[in-house]
Structure 1
């Protein structure tokens, strides 16, 4: 299953530059700034979630062209995004949910921004967010002609771009001049991390069994790996593997096995019907059915959520692989771990009690199916 976060990997390959001084006596032509909401780290499978650039100076009437639309332009004076990640804790149901607030546009981000000739207009007074759309051509936002001598923040939910609007100041370049050097430094950092993550490490118990260290995903403050580490392990019967999640800040992951069962419960989770939560997470509930004749599903789009079943989102099984003779009949999962506040991030261990024989066991992330650890048990 592809994560919603996969949308960040669609990057522009061309830059449109407009704007030059016609004569010293005339005003500068409005510019279009090319803004990346993140970028792949060269030579690795990692992704850098910085925004490029992280700051720029623009004039009233200039346009911001984002490579993808998952950005929130905050009102002037505000720095905190009013919603979190794709997954969230759901305190009133003692479970977890997909946050519907990410899918629907705010009033300022509705029916605009998908084409260069029809940008959304940012005036600094309200949150501008486009929701989840097909951003094939990126997302265009024009700074209102009336906005001047102001500063505002654009967030991709993980990092920010600070825009200073000042008609009397020189405009920034249309693309980030530091992008190449920044990504080169990120590539060096990623290579060093990969060496550490792929190194087979373990501790030995008093009984002489080994507990191997593993990771489902790994994030720094700006680099994210959507991979399992190590991807292949050879262990002995009775040994255990402990997956770590505390380092994940971008998204939660799971450690689940066998893959057939993990995919089954993931499919079931995302095919369930959305609901409306009128009183929010702090209220006692209950949730109400969504109104499918309403494009926003609920009276207020922020009420929309998808409640995730425990078989997918919470720890299941007896932490032994496999429990019985039929490995496909077994099911163990850590449930969601790591990522947004409110989701547990403690380690999860599986003990392998039978030999794998000709086919290794596979432990995977139920959300990102490419993340797998193959375990050969001798």
Structure 2
């Protein structure tokens, strides 16, 4: 693991729990903080077998170890500006990567990583955690199976309220780097959670944006990056999509969701009721798929990702663990080890697409007009 140490780290602990959840993987190496001494101290405190002062020494030392002794993959849990370096180094030595989103701070770096993944044939996943929820995976399967016909429209959203005030001015670490263009990139809210909303269009609806019209606004005075992000997009099949992300929606509780509207039906999922998927068909009663007493209706592609007996909710940590499980199974199958078929969770192409989407949105918001989404979006 690179990053994720220190008492104010937000996402290091959830990743560590997710990795250990199935007792099939363990954390053996880490460069957890930017300060070398703190990095080594945190590694000892968390019982990492091999602690390193920085990611460069981690990758160089691990890649020099014999096969079977070195790390199998690297999890990157840092601010956005520190994704590219360790990812590039790991891929260059053939080490698989699971990186937090957005993939990088700009499209050029994202494409460089994609070129490495393709040339070295190294597994790569992007941590769009919400795609690990079984009901989101089911939505993808239903759309791909034609359950709602041809997709006409997609509405995707992510609403938060934690940046309704200027928390970065009070020294909040998580708010500070997200409001800093040097660390977050050209978009604050869009890069941080707008990419989560957009990935639903690619993952669940199987489509992508070809052109868009964006409005990005910094609502809280003194904030240099957007905290409210709205996009109208035309998709590759001619359908329309709306992507709405906000970090100033007072009282919102990570309200992330998607509505996929087809010629014969509509699917709706919201993180507020994460264990349910609503399926509407014209002239028929609404069907609610739920992780209730019976989950035998779930296809075989999803059942290996369930951990608890039917009737028990599986939440955020389990969803994140499903991404780690997908990468683990991908690596094991490449070695010829018996493992279930991994689900198609977001990979390097999706990471590049997220950056292309953000780049187009920034250009549109600055110019005030429609913009073509760059190749790969």
- Normalised by the length of structure 2, the TM-score is 0.24
* Structure showing the higher strand proportion among its residues: 1
Which structure shows the higher helix fraction? 2
When normalised by structure 1's length, the TM-score is 0.24
